[in-house]
Amino acid sequence: MEYTSAEANKLLKKLNDVHQARLYEEEQCSTFLAAMGEEPESLRPEYDYAAAQKKLRELEEKIMTVKHALNLFNTTHTVPGFSMTIDRALVYLPFLSARVKKLGEMKARLPKAREKHDRYDGYGNLVDYRHINYDRFEAAKDYDAAFDELSRLQTALDAVNNSEKFRIDI
């Protein structure tokens, strides 16, 4: 069957949720408690060890198949408008986000800001001035460029993840 990356990720989430539910169910049914004097057979929950293991292995195989297909897609398809594959863009995205955050803080700083310390010099509290050591306008220009690139990359990734299809045989 053919899926977009977005659809495959939703399928992967569903398969992982089902797998977790099966593990929880197994945890609840594979052992049980019986108090002294109680008949254990009357309390025994339904549980088929072989069937439970088989179902877990089947789910794990499906998860590996979907994840592998996603990885192949991400390593072989480029992001439109960028000279990088999807997997490389996914690594670049957090770096770019951090750059936007840092530059946003740098462009907002005042050229000189007073900082009061709890240190005492004998005459009163010491006051230091923090001075920026860069051009705020250059930081603002770089912020705008990084923000625009981040927006373009996110939009391009959204577009490719919701439009290009690939085959997953599960």
Tell me the mean pLDDT in the region 62-77: 98
Count the Cβ atoms, other than its own, within 10 Å of residue 86. 23
Which pLDDT tens digit goes with each residue over 36-60?
A: 999 999 999 999 999 999 999 999 9
Phi, psi of 123 (to 5 degrees): -110, -20
Residue 127: its pLDDT value, please? 77
Q: Residue 163: is its pLDDT beyond 90? A: yes
Distance CA(92)–CA(95), nearest Å, equals 5
Among all chains, which residue has been given the structure tokens 């198949």? 65
Report field, pTM of the whole predicted structure over 0.85: no
Residue 115: its pLDDT value, please? 81
Q: Residue 153: is its pLDDT beyond 60? A: yes
Domain enclosing residue 144, as ranges: 2-167
Q: State how far the alpha carbon of 106 is from the alpha carbons of 14, 74, 103, 140, 141, in Å.
A: 42, 34, 5, 8, 11
Average pLDDT, the chain: 94
Percent of the chain with pLDDT over 90: 90
What is the tally of structural domains in the chain? 1
Distance CA(53)–CA(29), nearest Å, equals 13
Distance CA(89)–CA(69), nearest Å, equals 17
Distance of CA 164 to the CA centre of its chain: 21
Tell me the mean pLDDT in the region 157-164: 96
Which pLDDT tens digit goes with each residue over 105-125?
A: 999 999 999 887 666 555 656
Percent of the chain with pLDDT over 70: 95
Q: Residue 66: is its pLDDT beyond 60? A: yes
- Looking at residue 49, its amino acid is Y
Numbers of helices and strands, H then E, in the chain:
5, 4
Count the Cβ atoms, other than its own, within 10 Å of residue 124. 7
Pair 74, 85: CB distance under 8 Å? yes
pLDDT greater at residue 115 or residue 96:
96
